[in-house]
Amino acid sequence: MGHRVRWYVTEVVEEVTIRTMGGAFWLRPDAACKAIIEGVFGKALELYPGIQLYAFDAQSNHLHYLFGALDPAETPLFLDYVHSNIARQINKLRKREGVFWSRRGAVIAVLDGAAQIARLRYLLAQGPKAKLVASPKDWPGACSTPALLGDMKVRATYRSLDRVRRNAQRSQPRPEAELDEDVAFTLTPLPVWADLDAAARRAQVAALIADIEVEYRADRVMGVKRLITQDPNATPTKKLERSPMPACHSVCARIRRRFLEAYATFRDLYKQASDRLRHAKHATQLDIQKQYPPGALVRPRWYIPAPANLAATWLRGVDDADQALA
C-alpha cells in the first residue's frame, strides 16, 4: 500500500503522529529521553526557521506534535530531521540498532480553529487517557504542557552524534557536557489564539487541562515512578492495531468538503504528472516543474511553490481552491 501524497501549503496547521516499531517503550519518559526529544525539536527549529511548532507530546511509544509552515518547502526537511535524529539518538541511548519507527509519520491537516483546539486537547490528554498520570501537568517526559502554561519557552540542549564521534577520536577528548548546544526555543500560539494575549492563552490551556482531568479521572494511575523505570524494550500487552489516518481534521463540514475536493484535484494532477514523466524519454527540469501542481514535492529539496493564500480559499470560501491548482 503506497503512502498518501503529501500537500505542502501555508495557513494550515498540521498534526503529526508517529509510533515506535511494535509499540516498544523506547520513548520511555526518563530525563535522558526527554532531553533528546526536546533538543532535537530545538535544533530542527533552528535549522528550519520557516516552521512554527505549536505543541508536542512524547508518550512511551509514540510522538504527537502540531506545527505550521511559513515556508512549506522546509516541511519535509523538518519532518525528516526530527524523526531521523530522534531515532538515531534514542537508539544510542537504549543501546540498540535497527528500525525505530513503525512507519512514516502521519501528517494530517487541521483546517479550522475549533479543530485546532480539539487536536491540542487530544494531544494534552494522552497520559490521562491511558491512565498513566492523573493530569497532563504530571507527565514527566518531553511535552509542551509546562511551556503552554508558562512563557511558551522550552529550555533545550542538543548534542550532535557526529560531534560526539569526532570528539572521541581526538587525542584529548573534551568532556561530553561541553559538546551541548543551547537550542532553547519558543512555541508559537495556535492560529486560532493568535490574537489573544499571553494570559488569555494560558487560561485557555488551563481550561482544557481541567476538563481533561475531570473526563479521565481514575482511581488508580500508573504514576511517574513506574513510568520512568519501565523496561524500554517492553511492548504493550494488547496488540496495537493500525488504524487508517484521516486526511484532515475539521469541525466545519463545509471546510472539510472543500479541502478534500481540492486535495483530490492536487492528488490527481500529481499522479498524472508522475505517470507522464515515467514514460518520458527526455524531460528537462522546466518540463518536470510544469507538470506538477503547486504544493508538490517532486523529490527531496525540489518543491513546487504554492500561492501563499492557497489554503485560505477553503477557509474563507471566497474562491475555489481547485482554481489555484489549474
Question: What is the model's pLDDT at position 256?
Answer: 92
CB-hemisphere CA count at 13 Å for 98?
9
Lowest-confidence segment of 155-159, 191-195, 273-277 by average pLDDT: 273-277
Domain boundary among 227, 248, 269: 248
Tell which phi-psi region holds residue 14, choosing left (phi > 0), alpha (psi between -120 and 50) or beta: beta
Whole domain around residue 283: which residue ranges? Answer: 253-325
The per-residue pLDDT for range 98-117, each reduced to its tens digit, is 999 999 999 999 999 999 99
Is a pLDDT exceeding 50 seen at residue 52? Answer: yes
Taking alpha carbons only, the member of 196, 210, 227, 70 closest to residue 145 is 210
The per-residue pLDDT for range 9-32, each reduced to its tens digit, is 888 999 999 999 999 999 999 999
Confidence bin at 321 (pLDDT 50/70/90): very low
Distance CA 325, CA 245 (A): 24
**Residue 5 within a domain:** no
For 194, list phi and psi in degrees, rounded to 5.
Answer: -60, -30
Residues 234 and 269 in one domain: no
Residues 164 and 302 in one domain: no
37-49 average pLDDT score: 98
CA 43 vs. chain centroid, Å, equals 14
**Residue 107 within a domain:** yes
**Residue 144 within a domain:** yes
Give me the residue label for grid cell 493530569. Answer: 135
Residues 232 and 138 in one domain: yes
Residues 232 and 99 in one domain: yes
- In what side-by-side order are the strands of the sheet with 62-69? 51-58, 62-69, 13-19, 106-110, 248-249
Domain boundary among 248, 270, 295: 248
Question: What is the model's pLDDT at position 93?
Answer: 95
Spatial CB neighbours of 320, under 8 Å, sequence gap ≥ 6: 258, 262, 313
190: amino acid identity, one letter: L
Torsion of CA 274, 306, 77, 184, to 10 degrees: -170
DSSP alpha helix (H) spans, 169-252: 198-215, 224-229
Give me the residue label for grid cell 504530571. Answer: 138
**Residue 8 within a domain:** no
Distance CA 27, CA 25 (A): 5
Which grid cell is 126?
A: 494522552
The per-residue pLDDT for range 201-242, each reduced to its tens digit, is 999 999 999 999 999 998 889 888 888 888 898 888 776 666
**Residue 172 within a domain:** yes
Quote the percentage of the chain above a pLDDT of 90: 65
User: How many structural domains comprise the chain?
Assistant: 2
Residues 314 and 211 in one domain: no
